[in-house]
Amino acid sequence: MGTDGALALGLVNSLLNEHGIYDAEYLMYKTNAPYLIRPSDGRYMRDRETNKPLVWDLVDKCPKVHNDPSVTRVEYEDEAHDVALLGSYEVDGVQCRPAFELLKEHVKKYTPEYVEEVTYVPAATVSRIAKEFGEAAEIGSTVTIETSKGPKK
């Protein structure tokens, strides 16, 4: 891996594991971070009937397809059960974990000290930049991006 990649993964590690800065609500309802992952092949656990990826409903304490109405929010104001981003859950006899937990685990090896060895960016700087980036992110704020329709070019 090149130094840019090591620095990027080091910043992710610092954000998630050192500072604990991430938008859990966004991750739960707008990404595949809660999708349950099968340990044997690293693929999504899927519903037997629909073949859709599964998430773990923390309220009903059971797996549900990712777009089940009880765990889906179209708008942030919509009511929905929280889904797991962390933990281990048994589905059809298989212990699986959410993709987000696996990401957090994967980036742990990219410590600020490791990044310093590879990139010569001081460990304290890696940690500081990650923290500043996370604090400036305005987690939970809403951004509207104006778009317009036009001819395809």
Q: How far is CA 68 from the centre of its chain?
A: 19
Range of the domain at 81: 3-10+21-136
User: Does residue 143 form part of some domain?
Assistant: no
Q: Which residue has the tokens 């974990």?
A: 97
Q: What is the number of domains present in the chain? A: 1
Phi, psi of 23 (to 5 degrees): -95, 90
Q: Which is nearest to 72 in space by CA: 34, 22, 37?
A: 34
Query: Among all chains, which residue has been given the structure tokens 């519903």?
Result: 47
**pLDDT tens, residue by residue, 13-22:** 999 999 999 9
Specify if 120 maps to a domain: yes
Task: Evaluate whether residue 35 is within a structural domain.
Answer: yes
- Does residue 150 have a pLDDT over 60? no
**pTM value?**
0.86
Nearest to 134 by CA among 5, 4, 24: 24
Q: pLDDT digit string (tens) for 45-72? A: 999 999 999 999 999 999 999 999 988 8
Name the residue with tokens 């987690």.
139
Q: What is the pLDDT of residues 128-142, one digit of tens each?
A: 999 999 999 888 777
